[in-house]
């Protein structure tokens, strides 16, 4: 009589093992994730930071998404094909997707979303769209006002699709739109509860088209204090923090045995600006000399404690798929020769060069609120003095620095500084189109041009790129733009910190690092590497 009962137990245990192996969520206990700030209702309209954007991607999908190497791959779409002139796109949609409430996803949702986001002013990457028309329930035809080399990589990947049946009664221009709480998406998780200022709760979507998520329940807890985040990780009341660690803190936490790190290339970038509206920085030779005088590898080792990488002189991080990756050269002797050629000479032999009869003593602005920047500025001062450029650091509060370089966040033809160390957040690296804002005329589209200069050839290449119709033209022009940038150096790329995230390994170890982004994407909860499309 005992054998059948024992057999039932064995079969039950075997079934449980098989279900676990097939990818069923392992446990009902929520995985607690720490984030820095309240992200609002967390919808495609209302997220507030880049962390919120990727968290929104737990609940909603775009037509295309980024894989772990930051390359666009199909998501709600299966294919996107441009016409020969680049003015129209045919987009084929998945036919196996449902919204979290069971309603089918169709082309009507895509048309509604694109029109709604443009009217709401929430998606600059879609403003080039002239019209969107259905081609049955599972295809759309998009007509553009002009060819856009970024339509697939930035337009289709950044616009999360809204369920028309949930959002159709909302007014795109209503100022209260950012307060609208909608939890129905197509994504790997459904947002089940929002406690404003405190937490977000998520439940796995077992019918997700990429497979059942590996974690059944998530809680994203808002903890703004850095010390409190670390304390919760040490006490194991949280599993991970989505805030990258500062290099010094990462080194300190390496001694904590119960913590582990997930690391990958970061997209935050430090650059050295010279004011091209002032002599002698308006000379290409002077800017090149300053670049050659800077030892970026030493900056990485000393300011970033080795947790980072030198940036190429072509600006974009080596790890990004569109980066040309022209390496930085450190050559003080070549720098000295160029400075001589440009008219900066040490006439009295005191080791400091003169310009127009006066000893150089330039001010290097930096952000006093970031100790890392103050340290890097001190290193830069010593490196520039080593080739005879007189310079001293002036680390001020960020408002003062922005007032000199970028008053009211508007680029001006003649900013009020000599040299400056400046940190760009990830958007500058992760949007291939961002280059146009950095190097073009401030009074046109160059709202982020803080250099006080415009190179006519570089601007012409950018304008050609924005009108490029074919993929071949786009790639050639992208390469030419980065090569020209490296030649004229409107600003000097320095370094990018590694994105380092602390987690508790016995809570969860499936963290997947996306290039330039980190571990906060939905790939961390899905089978990795991402399945082939």
- pLDDT tens figures, 146-181: 888 889 999 999 999 999 999 999 999 998 888 899
Span 482-506, pLDDT tens digits: 999 999 999 999 999 999 999 999 9
Burial class (CB in 10 A: 0-12, 13-18, 19+), 357: exposed
DSSP secondary structure letter of residue 532: P
Q: What is the DSSP letter of 124?
A: G
Mode of pairing for the β-strands spanning 391-396 and 88-93: unpaired
* pLDDT tens track for 433-467: 899 999 999 989 999 999 999 999 999 999 999 88
- Check if CATH label 3.90.76.10 holds for domain 61-168: yes
Question: What was the pLDDT predicted at 530?
Answer: 58
Q: How big is the CA angle at 245 (ends 326 and 233), to the nearest 5 degrees?
A: 150
Confidence band of 527 (pLDDT split at 50, 70, 90):
confident
> How confident is the model over 196-205, as pLDDT tens digits?
999 999 999 9
- Mean residue pLDDT across the chain: 92
Dihedral Cα 252, 256, 260, 266, nearest 10 deg:
-10
pLDDT at 295 over 90: yes
pLDDT number for residue 22: 38
Convert the pLDDT of each residue in 131-150 to its tens digit: 999 999 999 999 999 888 88
The owner of tokens 């694109």 is 114
| Interval 274-291: pLDDT, tens | 999 999 999 999 999 999
How far is the first Cα of the chain from the last one, in angstroms, to the nearest whole number? Answer: 52
SS (H, E, C) 320-352: CCCCCCCCCCCCHHHHHHHHHHHCCECCCCCCC
Contact 502, 241 (CB under 8 A): yes
pLDDT at site 7? 33
The whole-number average pLDDT for the span 378-395 is 98
483 phi and psi, to 5 degrees?
-65, -40
Domain layout of the chain by residue ranges: 21-59+187-265+499-533, 61-168, 269-497
CA distance linking residue 43 with residue 195, whole number of Å: 14
Task: Tell whether omega for the bond before 280 is within 30 degrees of 0, i.e. cis.
Answer: yes
Per-residue pLDDT of 469-484, as tens digits, reads 788 898 999 999 999 9
What are the Cα distances from residue 251, in Å, to 146, 232, 259, 284, 515?
49, 18, 12, 39, 22
**What confidence tier does 2 reach under pLDDT thresholds 50, 70, 90?**
very low
Q: Which stretches of 230-279 are assigned E, i.e. beta strand?
A: 240-241, 260-264, 269-274
CATH of segment(s) 21-59+187-265+499-533? 3.40.190.10
Which of 2-11, 44-53, 166-175 has the weakest average pLDDT? 2-11
Residue 82 reports pLDDT greater than 90 = yes
Question: What pLDDT is attached to residue 6?
Answer: 34
* Six token digits for residue 241: 């923090």
Q: What is the pLDDT of residues 239-282, one digit of tens each?
A: 999 999 999 999 999 989 899 999 999 999 999 999 999 999 99
pLDDT at 5 over 70: no
pLDDT of residue 20: 36
**For residue 121, what pLDDT is reported?**
86
pLDDT at 217 over 50: yes
Residue bearing tokens 């949702």? 109
Q: How many residues does the chain have?
A: 533
Neighbours of 52 (CB within 10 A): 22
Architecture in CATH for domain 269-497: Roll (3.10)
pLDDT greater than 50 at residue 17: no
Taking residues 16-42, report their average pLDDT.
69
pLDDT of residue 35: 97
C-alpha–C-alpha distance, residues 264 and 266, integer Å: 6
Q: How far is CA 341 from CA 313, 348, 382, in A?
A: 22, 17, 22
Report the candidate in 499, 44, 488 with the shortest Cα–Cα distance to residue 262: 499
Report the pLDDT value the prediction gives residue 4, as an integer from 0 to 100.
Answer: 39
Question: Would you state the pLDDT for residue 469?
Answer: 76
Give the 3-state secondary structure of residue 128: coil
Buried b (16+ CB within 10 A) or exposed e, 72-105: bbbbbbeebebeeebbbbebbbbeebebbeeeeb
When mean pLDDT is compared over 3-7, 299-303, 429-433, the highest value belongs to 299-303
Residue 23 confidence (pLDDT) above 50: no
Instruction: Count how many Cα atoms sit within 13 Å of the Cα of residue 126 in the half-sphere of its side chain.
Output: 25
Is there a contact between 189 and 58 (Cβ–Cβ < 8 Å)? yes
């Amino acid at each position: 009589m005992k054998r059948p009962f024992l057999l039932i137990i064995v079969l039950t245990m075997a079934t449980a093992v098989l279900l676990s192996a097939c990818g069923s969520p392992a446990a009902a206990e929520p995985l607690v994730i720490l984030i820095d700030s309240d992200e609002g209702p967390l919808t495609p309209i209302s997220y507030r930071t880049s962390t919120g954007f990727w968290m929104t991607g737990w609940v909603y999908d775009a037509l295309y998404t980024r894989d772990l190497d930051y390359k666009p791959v199909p998501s709600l779409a299966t294919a996107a094909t441009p016409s020969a002139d680049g003015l129209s796109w045919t987009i084929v949609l998945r036919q196996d997707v449902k919204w979290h409430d069971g309603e089918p996803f169709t082309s009507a949702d895509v048309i509604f979303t694109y029109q709604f986001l443009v009217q709401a002013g929430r998606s600059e990457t879609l403003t080039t769209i002239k019209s969107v028309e259905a081609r049955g329930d599972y295809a759309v035809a998009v007509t553009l006002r002009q060819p856009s080399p970024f339509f697939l990589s930035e337009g289709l990947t950044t616009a999360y699709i809204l369920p028309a049946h949930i959002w159709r009664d909302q007014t795109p221009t209503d100022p209260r739109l950012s307060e609208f709480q909608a939890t129905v998406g197509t994504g790997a998780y459904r947002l089940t509860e929002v406690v404003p200022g405190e937490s977000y709760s998520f439940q796995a979507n077992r019918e997700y088209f990429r497979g059942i998520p590996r974690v059944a329940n998530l809680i994203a807890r808002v903890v703004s204090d850095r010390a409190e985040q670390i304390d919760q990780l040490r006490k194991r009341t949280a599993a991970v923090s989505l805030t990258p660690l500062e290099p010094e803190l990462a080194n300190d936490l390496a001694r904590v045995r119960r913590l582990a790190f997930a690391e990958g290339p970061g997209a935050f970038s430090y650059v050295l600006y010279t004011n091209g509206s002032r002599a002698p920085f308006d000379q290409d030779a002077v800017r090149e000399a300053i670049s050659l005088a800077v030892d970026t590898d030493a900056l990485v080792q000393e300011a970033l404690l080795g947790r980072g990488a030198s940036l190429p002189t072509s600006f974009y991080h080596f790890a990004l798929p569109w980066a040309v990756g022209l390496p930085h050269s450190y050559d003080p002797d070549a720098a000295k020769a160029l400075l001589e050629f440009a008219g900066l000479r040490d006439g009295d032999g005191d080791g400091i060069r003169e310009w127009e009869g006066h000893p150089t003593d330039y001010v290097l602005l930096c952000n006093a609120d970031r100790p890392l920047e103050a340290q890097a500025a001190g290193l830069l001062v010593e490196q520039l003095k080593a080739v005879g450029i007189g310079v001293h650091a002036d680390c001020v509060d960020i408002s003062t620095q922005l007032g000199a370089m970028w008053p009211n966040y508007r680029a001006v033809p003649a900013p009020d500084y000599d040299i400056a160390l400046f940190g760009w957040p990830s958007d500058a690296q992760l949007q291939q189109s961002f280059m146009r804002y950095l190097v073009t005329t401030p009074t046109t589209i160059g709202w982020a041009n803080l250099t006080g200069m415009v190179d006519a050839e570089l601007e012409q290449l950018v304008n050609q790129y924005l009108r490029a119709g074919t993929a071949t033209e786009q790639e050639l022009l992208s390469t030419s733009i980065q090569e020209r940038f490296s030649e004229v150096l409107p600003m000097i790329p320095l370094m990018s910190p590694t994105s380092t995230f602390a987690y508790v390994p016995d809570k969860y170890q499936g963290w997947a690092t996306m290039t330039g982004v980190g571990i906060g994407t939905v790939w961390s909860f899905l089978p990795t590497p991402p399945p082939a499309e």
